[in-house]
Structure 1
């Protein structure tokens, strides 16, 4: 029978997994939005997340240099400027690398996406160096919610910030997609881009704005990742991007709730495996679970079967 100490340890890992999964979910939404509209996997999206983390780090250091140390004000400035600057990167990547190849054979955009990922990685490596970049803790403190046998379950303020930010952004983006003209245009392009264009939808602008929205979410994920772990490097985009893509497929690529659900599941699997088994195989556990799920749910947990247009 599990003891109270075991339950406390389990609760702590549950909190850690939800926080990590929320970050993965924010990144996964970018994958699923782009795939839902143009049917392309944007493998450079993980590196847009990495750019967002570096932009947040540079902004924090700049604010400290000019004497802005109030945490709420600094966070607000970094959040807004980080989303804007990272969104510009997302728009630039779509405009230069993807739009010219949109009507090409399906393999061309995939190759371009991988190429853009390498370009962004090497650009940051050259510009910022290959060493990890630290940031002193910005959001500190927390709450002791349970203690037994000397083991305390801590809910930190940064974990609260991550979950609340994710819930707010998910609500906002869900409302944008379901209640606004942009959302209707995105859903029309998802169903049939040619008919959407004939109906008056500006397809190019809609796709660009989708990349911008995904990049803005990736910027928030990059900021939260920086605050949570305190160190970043030029390679975090590849690792987190692969896991977020796995989360998007897990939940059902093309489904926003599925992307968030997949992110939470991947975060929980990774956290619990690291806590109860050897940490070296946490990624193997996550990818193995993905394979098992796809055997029984080929379109993911919340994905819809793809209907062939004739």
Structure 2
């Protein structure tokens, strides 16, 4: 029973991380119809900002490093929107996609050239590694903190989207961006807000990734963002609720296969996860909460 409780919380913490990143991808896509494949590099920027701040000041307190990472992620997201994505906003979708790939390559190689590929240690609070007893389960504090902060971040985002003017404008833009512009809403502000929220979620996810790994490197965001993209597709790309649902389902599947598979093939866990996701998408190609579009001839 203790083992089961630990794995359930593990699924929530891993799935919550994927949900944050999938939501960040989905927010930008819902407003701009852009898949931001430079999102992994936003996580790397947040990590290296924390490392640079620690190296220059010697301050290793989590309450100081956390805002540094989040603000860096928000800052680079807004900068990328203004410098890289705004000039190609009205270009064909393939142009935006290639721009995202180009930005990703430039930022990654900047870190490789400046810092090298070797991992750099970032201090994390020692108390995160401690265990607490909850009933019959013995759980790491990092799992509780990660799950709690993820839930709070999602609730805050729901409040912003439902109770603020900019949030309502973003929801309207996700449905019909041309109509949003026709009623006089500033399109630049809506898109910038989407990138800022996306950056905030990436910065928060970067904190969790570093807390688990203890190091930063130029490739630290690639794996999590790839899985977050799969989670967003699973939930229905463009659906914000679907992105969250897909993230938690993907986290649950990872933990399930980690438990269920024999140790000899446990290393192929991701292959089993992606195979099952593929089966789900064959059954429901628009994603679990996505809207189905009819292309070609109707079924007889």
Distance of aligned partners of 1:170 and 1:282 in 2 relative to their CA distance in 1, 3 Å threshold:
same
Question: Of residues 85, 108, 111 in structure 2, which corresponds to 1:98?
Answer: 85
The reply on whether 1:140 has 2:129 as its aligned counterpart is: yes
Distance between the aligned counterparts of 2:274 and 2:192, measured in 1?
31
| 1:118-145 Cα deviation digits (max 9, x unpaired) | 1121112222220122334412312134
Distance of aligned partners of 1:146 and 1:172 in 2 relative to their CA distance in 1, 3 Å threshold:
closer
Distance between the aligned counterparts of 1:47 and 1:197, measured in 2?
31
Q: CA deviation at 1:212?
A: 1.2
Distance of aligned partners of 1:206 and 1:293 in 2 relative to their CA distance in 1, 3 Å threshold:
same
Q: Matches of residues 28-67 of structure 1 in structure 2 within 5 Å? A: 28-62=22-56, 65=58
Distance of aligned partners of 1:137 and 1:198 in 2 relative to their CA distance in 1, 3 Å threshold:
closer
Contact 2:69/2:206 (<8 A) preserved:
no
Would you say how many aligned residue pairs link Structure 1 and Structure 2?
Answer: 290
Aligned to 1:126: 113
Q: Matches of residues 167-206 of structure 1 in structure 2 within 5 Å? A: 167-206=151-190
Contact 1:33/1:210 (<8 A) preserved:
yes
Distance of aligned partners of 1:189 and 1:137 in 2 relative to their CA distance in 1, 3 Å threshold:
closer
Aligned to 1:150: none
**5+ residue gaps, structure 2:** 296-300
Q: CA deviation at 1:258?
A: 1.9
| 1:191-244 Cα deviation digits (max 9, x unpaired) | 222221110111112111111110111001001110122233211211111101
Q: CA deviation at 1:306?
A: 5.2
SS at 2:185's partner residue? Answer: coil
Aligned to 1:293: 280
TM-score, normalised with respect to structure 2: 0.89
| 1:284-308 Cα deviation digits (max 9, x unpaired) | 1222122111122222122233599
Distance of aligned partners of 1:31 and 1:282 in 2 relative to their CA distance in 1, 3 Å threshold:
same
Contact 2:28/2:194 (<8 A) preserved:
yes
The reply on whether 1:27 has 2:21 as its aligned counterpart is: yes
Contact 2:33/2:93 (<8 A) preserved:
no
**5+ residue gaps, structure 1:** 1-6, 148-152
Distance between the aligned counterparts of 2:124 and 2:133, measured in 1?
19
Distance between the aligned counterparts of 1:116 and 1:280, measured in 2?
32
Distance between the aligned counterparts of 1:192 and 1:290, measured in 2?
30
Q: CA deviation at 1:146?
A: 6.2
Distance between the aligned counterparts of 1:186 and 1:199, measured in 2?
13
| 1:230-273 Cα deviation digits (max 9, x unpaired) | 23321121111110111111112222222222112212222332
RMSD: 2.1
Aligned to 2:298: none
Distance between the aligned counterparts of 2:101 and 2:165, measured in 1?
32
